[in-house]
């Protein structure tokens, strides 16, 4: 068990559920043998400022509570600091937490803070932007980039699903070029996953990816028809061997990626880049709490 003397907790409490989980986390942390400077942040635009202020107080441990997008968006701020990351999985997919082997409930995740150990891990990079788990090209960033602001809030989940269905009908396979330094490879694909860990959307997809391999993995789902993607997702969900039939993977420390046409890239759920990009591994740049 690691002996910390100070910690900061920053939770993305935008939703009512987030505020409720923050209160649960604070209750679960009462048994920790060190003080925790806790912050519930209701406006996501204030998250970076809150983390910056917390880091100025020199905590040994920074616990980030939220989904994959929250952790990925803030992890850049911890690189190069003498601080250990703790993860409180409060999102929908929680792919990064799954990769770390964390319990997905608040009390279980806090127990890892109490009894676990720090592990040095890699982060992925898209150009100069660090990310924790996975970036993607294909239908999911297309939906995220085009959905009208406030649609989900006004029309709920049904409105969002309607938009997603319309975008899927318009979606077309695209041309991918990957250069791993040994020459460019070009193929027609329906989805691309740039992975630092095996989980994407809460589902185990990329066998070759690991948070401590020292390499980044680009996995392409090849095909000329959208039904190939649906088949691959179904096979992956049920962990069936057929999930490997339509995938090609490239590994390396740095991979150049381009598409025709140029496409948006979602990084742990947030659209933050467009092709062409360079995907890299930042090997062993951060320590994170994992189960003992």
Q: Average pLDDT of the chain?
A: 90
In the predicted model, what is the mean pLDDT of residues 156-162? 69
Centre a 10 Å sphere on the Cβ of residue 259 and count the other Cβ atoms it contains.
20
Task: Give the helix, strand, coil percentages of the chain, each rounded to 5.
Answer: 35, 35, 30
Give the integer Cα–Cα distance in Å for 144 and 164: 9
In the predicted model, what is the mean pLDDT of residues 140-165? 71
Give the integer Cα–Cα distance in Å for 283 and 263: 27
Q: What is the pLDDT of residues 78-103, one digit of tens each?
A: 999 999 999 999 988 899 999 999 99
In the predicted model, what is the mean pLDDT of residues 189-205? 92
Whether domain 134-283 has CATH 3.40.50.300: no
For residue 244, what pLDDT is reported?
A: 84
Q: How many residues does the chain have?
A: 292
Superfamily of structural domain 7-115: Probable inorganic polyphosphate/atp-NAD kinase; domain 1 (3.40.50.10330)
Q: Which two tokens stand for residue 122?
A: 């890699």
For residue 129, what pLDDT is reported?
A: 92
User: Would you kindly state where each structural domain of the chain is located, as residue ranges?
Assistant: 7-115, 134-283
Centre a 10 Å sphere on the Cβ of residue 154 and count the other Cβ atoms it contains.
9
């Amino acid at each position: 068990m690691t002996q910390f003397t100070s910690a900061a907790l920053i939770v993305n409490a935008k939703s009512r559920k987030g505020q409720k989980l923050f209160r649960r986390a604070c209750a679960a942390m009462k048994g920790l043998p060190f003080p925790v400077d806790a912050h519930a942040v209701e406006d996501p635009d204030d998250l970076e400022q809150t983390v910056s202020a917390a880091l100025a107080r020199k905590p040994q441990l920074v616990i980030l509570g939220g989904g994959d997008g929250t952790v990925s968006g803030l992890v850049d701020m911890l690189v190069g600091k003498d601080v250990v990351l703790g993860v409180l999985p409060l999102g929908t997919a929680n792919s990064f937490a799954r990769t770390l082997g964390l319990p997905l409930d608040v009390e279980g995740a806090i127990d890892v803070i109490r009894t676990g150990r720090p592990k040095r891990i890699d982060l992925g990079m898209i150009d100069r932007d660090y990310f924790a788990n996975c970036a993607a090209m294909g239908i999911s960033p297309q939906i995220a980039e085009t959905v009208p602001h406030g649609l989900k809030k006004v029309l709920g989940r049904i409105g969002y699903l309607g938009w997603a269905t319309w975008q899927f009908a318009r979606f077309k396979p695209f041309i991918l070029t990957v250069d791993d330094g040994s020459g460019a490879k070009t193929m027609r694909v329906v989805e691309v996953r740039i992975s630092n860990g095996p989980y994407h959307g809460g589902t185990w997809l990329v066998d070759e990816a690991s948070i401590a391999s020292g390499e980044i993995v680009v996995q392409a789902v090849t095909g000329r028809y959208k039904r190939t993607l649906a088949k691959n997702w179904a096979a992956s969900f049920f962990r069936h061997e057929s999930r490997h039939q339509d995938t090609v993977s490239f590994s390396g420390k740095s991979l150049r990626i381009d598409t025709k046409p140029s496409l948006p890239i979602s990084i742990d759920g947030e659209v933050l880049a467009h092709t062409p990009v360079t995907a890299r591994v930042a090997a062993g740049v951060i320590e994170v709490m994992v189960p003992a």
